[in-house]
Amino acid sequence: MPGDDTERPTVLVVDDEEKLADMYTLWLRNEYDVRTVYDGEDVLGALDGVDVVLLDRRMPGCSGDEVLERLERRDEDPAIVVVTAVDPDFEILELSFDDYVCKPVQADDLVAVIEQQLAAREHGDDLRRFLQLSTKRTLLELEHGPGVLDDTSDLRALRDEVDELEGQLRRTMADFDNVLESFQQINRGPGRGRRS
């Protein structure tokens, strides 16, 4: 359970590419209790006590997008980090995830995104929502350029909510700048270098 000092956080790795899933498991097993499944159908049966799910989008049978829909209808509330080769586009606005990292991903980015999600759970819903929306904003700006959030009312609403949450969190959270800096250091975009 998050916040329980006696147990390590539990991470569920979900990817149909078994070698890749096993590599992630190897990277993470010293820090976390790691479970691995190779099929979207197996996710729901493996969620008990899971803190963070690393979820591929493109899988045969039950895709990652279908898994996200099923998870929305359940009581379990692990953080969902999409780890995928699918370049993000406007459809991500409709998907319910906490973070999104494009393959290929490095071990340090994977650990950083997990740690950020664990910390967000301890700080509350506003930070969690800020990180969810900031991820979508960042990905769309990487794909379409920084002015994309001015294009439609939905995108402007996303930008405005991120800005409003940031202002609120700056007033109420002493370590918000550290959280924001950590968020910005994670390489989420496909084939792009680290942001400064």
Please report whether residue 190 resides in a domain: no
pLDDT at 1 over 70: no
Please report whether residue 5 resides in a domain: no
pLDDT at 192 over 90: no
Please give the average per-residue pLDDT across 158-166, as a whole number: 94
Token pair of 70, please?
């099923």
For the domain that residue 45 is a member of, what is the CATH number? 3.40.50.2300
pLDDT at 190 over 90: no
Please report whether residue 109 resides in a domain: yes
In tens, the pLDDT along 64-86 reads 999 999 888 877 789 999 999 98
Please tell me the predicted confidence (pLDDT) of residue 6.
57
Please report whether residue 196 resides in a domain: no
Residue 79 near residue 44, CB atoms below 8 Å: no
Domain coverage including residue 81: 10-185
pLDDT at 3 over 60: no
What proportion of the chain, given as a percentage, has pLDDT over 90?
Answer: 65
33-37 and 52-55: which strand pairing? unpaired
Sign of CA dihedral 114, 116, 121, 125: negative
Please report whether residue 194 resides in a domain: no
In tens, the pLDDT along 92-115 reads 999 999 999 999 999 999 999 999
pLDDT at 196 over 80: no
Count of structural domains within the chain: 1
Please report whether residue 98 resides in a domain: yes
Distance CA 53, CA 12 (A): 5
Please tell me the predicted confidence (pLDDT) of residue 4.
47
In tens, the pLDDT along 130-153 reads 999 999 998 988 888 878 877 788
